[in-house]
Amino acid sequence: RIALDEIIARSAALSSTQTLHVSASITSGTHTYGTLETPRVTLIEDGATPIELSGGAVINGVGILLVPRVVQLKNATLNWRGLVLIMGDGDVRVADAAACGQILGSVVIRDDASIDRKFDLDRAGGTGSCAPFAVNYSCETTIRSWALLSQTVSWTEKFDG
**115 — pLDDT class (breaks 50, 70, 90):** low
- The torsion angles phi and psi of 20, rounded to 5 degrees, stand at -120, 155
More confident residue, 121 or 104: 104
Model confidence, pTM: 0.84
Q: What is the pLDDT of residue 147?
A: 84
**Per-residue pLDDT tens over the stretch 49-99:** 999 999 999 999 999 999 988 899 999 999 999 999 988 888 888 888 888
Q: Quick one: pLDDT at residue 23? A: 93
| Per-residue pLDDT at 18 | 76
Q: What is the mean pLDDT of the chain?
A: 83
